[in-house]
């Protein structure tokens, strides 16, 4: 009888066993955006810094095939996992350029061909060969790099190389990082029988059921400790765990007996057992423990679960499908939406806030990452009393309300194919004879959302450390106002002021983001560098080595002061958004189109000569003279960079020169200084 063989693998194992990787024809193109490639690299670097013995990237499904590369012992046809494996190859290519003698370079090639092969994508194959310093199978020009099959490969590789430049400038030991990537990044490869219908299997695994998460197991462990009103706390948990729906909608679905005609949005700020009631409130039934019992009965404890258990669930959905039910609003907030973080990470932030509320001096031991969930909650789940279990779940309600009130969601509006970060204001209206809560979005992006975008797209994106102090401060503001008047402009101004202070402190703190964020949560002031230190850093000619944070931070400062600065035109900034960008643009190009044009390296790599753009925007400017870039910039209806707007404004009168670069740098740093001084 044929069976599936599961085995743990690393890049080292692939290389020593001469295993080739093959992308079959039925797979979609490589689609990971460049920021996700950088995020994986940063996660691996953080795991190494954190002393983790290994970094786990999940499970793959493959079929063993005859070798696709002549020197290979065998080939694994990737049924599920090609995006991750391709990303590992891109990271190996990025390291190869810096450490060509490291064993990790073996991941990029197997004999005379790339280790990763594509069955029908000759251009992608040729790209990997060229970057691995092998002879491409076909000729292709730079125009091919914009094709569907190559654009993300090129952008991901360029982003990884830029990130390695930044890490090298930050004195990161790249050889040690390459060792860790080579030996300690692991995955489980489920090898299925080669005779299986792989197209059918691929379709099945991409339309599979719901997974049992570690958060479900934590819920089961906490509910097991609660002896009174167990269904109530189960319902609270369910109302909080659907992160993609709005909290008020989850509560309406799960507490159907609530008098919604006499309940305002502010009434959701804290759980009130008299207001939010359940059918059979006094029943002793356990209710809602099916998932947890499945995990408990299988002998899986919080610390033992290394990967989700796949189970099929029947019953009512509280996800996006429920948004079209009769209980929902048919107002302006219709459309697709998702949270900026998952529920496990929200629970970890809640635990930090819970510890702070208890007056604890010590933070959780591990860094914030969904993969560390069991380590974070293992001791608490075992030792928590009934009172602590109840208090934690009620704290979760507080946090989730504040999260939906003050933190933007990704929203894809009707008639718009692009998702954006939105934070809608909540209003009450009557529809079909019933009171409902609706969210409306302003035409121009609020300052609070722009600053959240800066924090979201930079730093440790798997942790989002700013959320703990920000949500903690919003809870304190809520208490100070007596759980009322949270929707006015004064509250919005307070939220923005608090987040600006959090952002400034985290950017200048001498200790880690985790330590600084917990100190802020506790109401303390971490030790920070004076702005003169930051000023000196930004005056260094670091080129692509500048942290992308500083570009986006400056975009926010320019956005906030947009009406004061005459260089900015309202018709072009009204739709401007701070988005994920990871390609450093040299306004005076590194390789000028006129090869006799040269600029001193200190000026060329000055922060004053740089802007941060998306890879596509960067490519559009190419190596043109700054004057031609100005023409292209003026042709765009919306600014792609506010910093570029300030660069190009004086160029209408004078050429871009070393003196222009110095003047621009001084003016930008002065704006940053004023922003830090204000907060």
Asked whether residue 253 carries a pLDDT value surpassing 90, the answer given is no
CA-based angle 271:273:275, to the nearest 5? 90
Residues 414-458: pLDDT tens digits?
777 788 999 988 888 887 778 888 887 777 899 999 999 999 999
pLDDT at position 51: 87
Reported confidence tier of residue 197, pLDDT bands at 50, 70, 90: low
pTM of the model: 0.76
Asked whether residue 312 carries a pLDDT value surpassing 70, the answer given is no
pLDDT (average), residues 401-412:
94
pLDDT at position 213: 67
pLDDT at position 194: 66
% of the chain beyond a pLDDT of 70: 85
Query: Are residues 181 and 11 in contact, defined by beta-carbon separation less than 8 angstroms?
Result: yes
Domain boundaries, the chain: 5-208, 212-521, 531-678
pLDDT at position 23: 87
Give bridge partners of residue 7 from the DSSP assignment.
189
Strands (E), 425-466: 425-431, 434-440
Angle between helices 373-383 and 343-357 (to 10 degrees): 50
Residues 168-196: pLDDT tens digits?
988 899 999 999 999 999 998 888 876 66
Reported confidence tier of residue 120, pLDDT bands at 50, 70, 90: low
Structure tokens at 377: 């909650």
Own/partner pairs, 105-114, CB within 8 angstroms, 24+ separation: 106/15, 107/11, 107/14, 107/15, 107/182, 108/132, 109/134, 110/18, 110/20, 110/69, 110/71, 110/72, 111/69, 111/70, 111/71, 111/72, 112/70, 112/71, 113/69, 113/70, 113/71, 114/69, 114/89
Q: What is the SS3 assignment for 183?
A: helix
Least confident range of 6-20, 293-307, 519-533, 633-647: 293-307
Average pLDDT value for the chain: 84
The more confident residue out of 571 and 594 is 571
Selection from 453, 466, 498, 452 nearest residue 352 by Cα: 466
pLDDT at position 1: 41
pLDDT at position 547: 94
Element (H or E) spanning 185, and its range? Answer: strand 185-192
pLDDT (average), residues 200-214:
53
Full strand arrangement of the beta sheet holding 420-422: 336-338, 409-412, 420-422
pLDDT at position 426: 84
Least confident range of 44-48, 280-284, 344-348: 280-284
pLDDT at position 474: 94
Asked whether residue 569 carries a pLDDT value surpassing 80, the answer given is yes
Selection from 72, 68, 41 nearest residue 125 by Cα: 68
Structure tokens at 11: 């890049």
The C-alpha atoms of residue 434 and residue 92 are separated, in whole angstroms, by 58
Asked whether residue 207 carries a pLDDT value surpassing 70, the answer given is no
% of the chain beyond a pLDDT of 90: 55
- The sign of the CA dihedral 92, 93, 99, 103 is positive
């Amino acid at each position: 009888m044929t069976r599936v063989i599961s085995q743990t693998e690393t890049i080292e194992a692939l290389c020593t066993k001469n295993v080739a990787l093959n992308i079959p024809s039925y797979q979609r193109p490589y689609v990971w955006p460049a920021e996700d490639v950088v995020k994986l690299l940063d996660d691996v670097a953080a795991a190494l810094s954190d002393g983790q013995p290994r970094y786990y990237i999940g499970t793959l499904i493959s079929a063993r095939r005859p070798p696709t590369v002549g020197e290979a012992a065998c080939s694994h046809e990737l049924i599920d996992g090609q995006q991750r494996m391709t990303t590992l190859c891109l990271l190996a290519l990025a390291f190869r350029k810096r450490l060509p003698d490291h064993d990790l370079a073996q991941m990029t090639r197997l004999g005379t061909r790339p280790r990763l092969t594509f069955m029908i994508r000759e251009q992608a194959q040729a790209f990997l060969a060229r970057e691995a310093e092998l002879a491409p199978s076909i000729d292709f020009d730079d125009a091919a790099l914009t094709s569907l099959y190559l654009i993300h490969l090129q952008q991901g590789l360029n982003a990884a190389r830029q990130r390695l430049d930044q890490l090298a400038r930050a004195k990161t030991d790249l050889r040690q990082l390459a060792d860790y990537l080579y030996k300690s990044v692991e995955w489980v490869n489920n090898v299925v029988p080669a005779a299986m219908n792989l197209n059918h299997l691929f379709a099945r695994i991409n339309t599979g059921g719901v997974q049992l998460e570690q958060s479900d197991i934590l819920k089961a462990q906490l509910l097991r400790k609660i002896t009174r009103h167990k269904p109530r706390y189960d319902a609270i948990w369910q109302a909080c765990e659907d992160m993609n729906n709005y909290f008020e909608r989850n509560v309406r679905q799960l507490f159907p007996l609530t008098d919604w005609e006499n309940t305002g949005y502010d009434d959701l700020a804290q759980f009130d057992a008299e207001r939010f009631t359940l059918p059979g409130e006094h029943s002793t039934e356990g209710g809602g423990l099916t998932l947890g019992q499945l995990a408990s009965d299988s002998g899986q404890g919080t610390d033992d679960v290394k990967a989700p258990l796949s189970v099929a669930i029947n019953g009512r959905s509280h996800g996006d499908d429920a948004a079209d039910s009769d209980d929902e609003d048919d107002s302006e907030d219709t459309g697709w939406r998702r949270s900026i973080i998952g529920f496990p990470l929200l629970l970890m932030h809640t635990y930090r806030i819970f510890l702070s509320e208890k007056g604890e001096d010590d933070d959780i031991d591990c860094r914030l990452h969904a993969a560390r969930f069991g380590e974070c909650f293992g001791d608490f789940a075992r030792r928590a009393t009934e009172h602590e279990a109840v208090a934690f779940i009620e704290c979760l309600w507080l946090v989730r309300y504040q999260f939906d009130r003050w933190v933007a969601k990704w929203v894809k509006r009707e008639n718009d194919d692009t998702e954006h970060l939105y934070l809608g204001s909540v209003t009450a209206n009557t529809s079909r004879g019933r009171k409902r809560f609706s969210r409306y979005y302003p035409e121009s992006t609020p300052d609070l959302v722009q600053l959240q975008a800066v924090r979201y797209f930079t730093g440790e994106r798997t942790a989002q450390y700013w959320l703990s102090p920000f949500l903690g401060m919003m809870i304190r503001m809520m208490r100070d106002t007596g759980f009322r008047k949270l929707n006015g402009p004064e509250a919005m101004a307070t939220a923005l002021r608090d987040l600006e202070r959090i952002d400034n402190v985290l950017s200048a703190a001498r200790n880690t983001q985790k330590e600084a964020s917990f100190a802020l949560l506790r109401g303390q002031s971490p030790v920070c560098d004076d702005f003169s230190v930051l000023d000196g850093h930004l005056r260094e000619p670091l080129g692509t080595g500048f942290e992308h944070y500083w570009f986006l931070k400056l975009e926010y400062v320019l956005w906030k002061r947009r009406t004061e600065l005459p260089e900015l035109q309202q018709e072009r900034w009204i739709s401007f958004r701070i988005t994920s960008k990871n390609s450093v643009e040299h306004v005076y190009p590194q390789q000028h189109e006129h090869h006799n044009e040269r600029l001193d390296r200190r000026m060329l790599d000055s922060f004053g000569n740089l802007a941060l753009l998306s890879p596509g925007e960067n490519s559009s400017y190419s190596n043109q003279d700054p004057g031609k870039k100005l023409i292209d910039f003026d042709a765009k209806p919306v600014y792609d960079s506010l910093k570029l707007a300030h660069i190009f404004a004086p160029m209408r009168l004078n050429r871009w020169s070393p003196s222009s670069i110095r003047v621009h740098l001084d003016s930008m740093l002065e704006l940053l200084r004023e922003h830090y001084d204000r907060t």
